[in-house]
Amino acid sequence: MHIQNKKRFYLMMGLLGVVIILLGFSIAMIWSAISSNNAPVQTTSNTANPAAADSTQGNRTDTTASQAIADPTDTLVLVNKTTSLDEDYLPPDLVWVDLPGVRETQLRKEAAAALEDIFAAATAKKLSLYCCSGYRSYQTQEELYAENVKNYGQKEADLVSAKPGQSEHQTGLAMDVTAESVNFDLLESFGQTLEGEFIKNNAHQYGFIIRYPEDKTTITGYAYEPWHLRYVGKDVAAEIYEKKLTFEEYLKTS
């Protein structure tokens, strides 16, 4: 190599070196910019996570339309379209109800004893009440609800039957009663039978309320069910009866 060429060579190498350094520096800058861009993305996704959890919870709430219940064994437990029992909730003291009925059924001990008293009072008036359905498990309710949706469609089914977890029957504190005059069925006309009238006027004395009264659908979420008795204890039942409240209204004001 000539000296001239050598000079040019070193100059070229020098320039190449500068270009490489500049290129490296640029890459480093770009990389750092990308990284710092990633950081806020990360932050966004981090702050989005709790939101996602909320929305999952929101979805869960929408699906079951429910809040958790603090103490499902409480006699005054509220179970409706916005408060649900757990899938595995089993009342602690279920007993078989020793009363005439269309099938064998269970209630919690205190409610069963109170039901025996009201049946005895009815018998004393020469009326014949029959048990239809007391405690129902989450799984039984699931089948029942699915059956109702299949037969009547979602909207109608929601008016007359509860989604699993949202049925008072899972509390072991509710009993559907019927009479021979309505062919042992659960019909609105039960309310006009002698047995239905007796229930309406006297259930509170034994600690029961008509849980889904007439013209209270907007509050209870359910159509009139003159046959559905809910045990709440004598004092609360008396207050609800005298003030013509729904259970929801009673709990709000008490």
Shortest distance, CB of residue 229 to Zn ion, whole angstroms?
Answer: 8
Q: Catalytic: which of 180, 197, 225, 248? A: 225
CA dist., res. 130 & res. 143, Å (int)? 24
Verify binding: residue 115, Zn ion, rule CB under 5 A.
no
**Least distance from C-beta 103 to Zn ion, angstroms?**
14
Question: Any contact of residue 230 with Zn ion (CB under 5 A)?
Answer: no
How many residues touch Zn ion under the rule CB under 5 A: the total is 2
Task: Tell me the window of 75-83, 103-111, 124-132, 223-231 that interacts with Zn ion (CB under 5 A).
Answer: 223-231
Q: Is 176 in the site for Zn ion (CB under 5 A)?
A: yes
Of 55-63, 168-176, 190-198, 230-238: span binding Zn ion (CB under 5 A): 168-176
Ramachandran assignment for 21, one of left (phi > 0), alpha (psi -120 to 50 degrees), beta (any other) = alpha
> In the chain, where do the E strands start and end?
94-96, 106-108, 130-133, 174-178, 208-212, 225-231
- Minimum separation from the CB atom of position 224 to Zn ion (A): 12
Which among 215, 240, 221 is positioned nearest to 230, based on CA atoms?
A: 240
228 forms part of the interface with Zn ion (CB under 5 A):
yes
Q: Which residue has the tokens 């949706």?
A: 149
CA–CA gap between residue 93 and residue 171 (Å, rounded): 11
What is the Cα–Cα distance from 230 to 173, expressed in whole angstroms?
Answer: 6
Region for 110 from its dihedrals, namely left if φ exceeds 0, alpha if ψ lies in -120 to 50, beta otherwise: alpha
Q: Which is nearer to Zn ion, 61 or 134 (CB)?
A: 134
Which residue minimizes CB distance to Zn ion? 228
Q: How far is the CB of 216 from Zn ion (least distance, A)?
A: 15
CB nearer to Zn ion: give 176 or 195. 176
- Known active-site residue 225: yes
Give the closest residue to 86 by CA, choosing from 165, 18, 19. 165
Q: Which residues form the interface with Zn ion (CB under 5 A)?
A: 176, 228
Q: Which residues are catalytic?
A: 225
